[in-house]
Structure 1
Amino acid sequence: MHHQFKELADVDITAEPMEVGPTCHYVMGGVDVDPDTAAATGVPGLFAAGEVAGGMHGSNRLGGNSLSDLLVFGRRAGLHAARYAQETAASGTRPVPDEAQLDLAAAEALRPFSAEAGEPEETAGPAGPPENPYTLHQELQQSMNDLVGIIRKAEEMEEALHRLAGLRVRARRAGVEGHRQFNPGWHLAIDLRNMLLVSECVARAALERTESRGGHTRDDCPEMDRAWRRLNLVCRLSDPSGGLAAPDAGHGQIRLERREMPPIRPDLLNLFEKDELVKYLTDEELTQ
């Protein structure tokens, strides 16, 4: 630790104070997958496991739980991905990418090299000069840290969504210089779209979930609501083209859906003390 601080920040922690703060350890959400095959819902050929997937541990992911998650569901994902590849190759049904979508994605990726002042109809906002992707990244990071942090409030998350709308418009004008070879500014400009997308998913879902549970803590909703245990929040792109078109600053990039989860099997419930289950299950579930 002493070496890292000295090399990266020029701080001698044996003689000077160090800044300590929380950071993101896990994304408690992710790709919507089938629990048996780990196949992503609505994305043929994509298999996911671990932190990138929804996961089986919900709002509480500890280190040991993550390892078991990877071992079990990583194996399932690998087995079914191999089986899928073999079956589609043998049957000739392997999905073929749409050339128009590929061209659109390529043009979107190269946009930062030719970024110019945006027009109102193109950016859904006022025109402006090209934006520095590093500045946008810093503002996004600070906004999420300040407004959608460890302890959350409705008014702060609403403000975060307002800021995200402005950053989405400005990110359409992110510009870079140089060449394609090892260009971190270009990489960041491309990453910003996904960063903004994930940030909106986190903020909208956290605002919708009016309770505190695991790593999700609401200062204005401090209690855990047992009714929320049966609900998952699914984020879907509001743009059917896949989000490559100009974003709508007013409505965001995603829409939320509530999905009711199937009841827990009786043989699994019998593994727990009833006094413990009362904290989490609804009266209806406990009666059944």
Structure 2
Amino acid sequence: MCREPQFILKGAEFAYANAAEKILRGIDLEIRAGEWVALLGSNGSGKSTLLKILSALLTPTQGFCFVCGLDTREAKPEQLRGISSIVFQNPEDQIVAAVVEEEAAFGPENLGCHTEEICRRVEASLKATGLWERRRDLVSSLSGGQKQRLALAGALAMHPRAILLDEALSMLDPRSRLEFTEIIKREHGKGVTIVEVTHRLEEIRCAERVIVLDRGKVSCDMPVHAFLNKSAAELASMHLMKPPIECLAEKLRAEGYLPDGCVSDAESLKTELCRLL
């Protein structure tokens, strides 16, 4: 199925005022509606800046960024509002309300939704993130993981066409990461575009495509399964660590216990490993 480009970057560059170097350099990129893209790279490679450009929080200092066909430098804020929602690494950076349900309602209110629609969206987003029973609680009473889920609930309540995750799982414990990922998988199943910045390669298995940034440039753009089948040495050269399951598979292939070639997904890889044990 052919999907329309949702984000298009043409020669996009970015530099902060008075900065000696550019953060992004000549980015040419298309992300299609409904894709799940993992955005990787070492610290300082430009991942977060690129995500902010996609969300129209920043505009390129050179080149262009088109979101659903709109040039972000020329479009009015109300034209771009609600197309994408971003979830940051630290929920404290984006939570503005004191009460849980008020925070979930903040986005729909800014979109000008009617009261009845706001109530429906708040209930649906808080139930989706497991916070409905805490809806009247103070945000300050939530744990760190619950605050991150609240930030996601606020994003979901906007009914965005794309969800942008800026290392949103990095401060969560393993169980919370799994729960968070399941919520994102459900949204992706509805056709929502996902662009996920992360440094944990075990978190990219649900993605379809991997984009790696190196010093502000795209150094790699390929399907996720082919990327995870790169050698540990190749990934280390990108300052990335191969996940344990894929490392074990690489060693078993080298010893002749597994056939060469790409294993289609993590589950089939686990099946092959169990067969050998």
* Structure showing greater relative contact order (alpha-carbon pairs closer than 8 Å, 6 or more residues apart): 2
Structure 1 or 2: more strand by fraction: 2
Structure 1 or 2: more helix by fraction: 1
Same fold per TM (> 0.5)? no
Larger Rg: 1
- TM-score, normalised to structure 2's length? 0.26
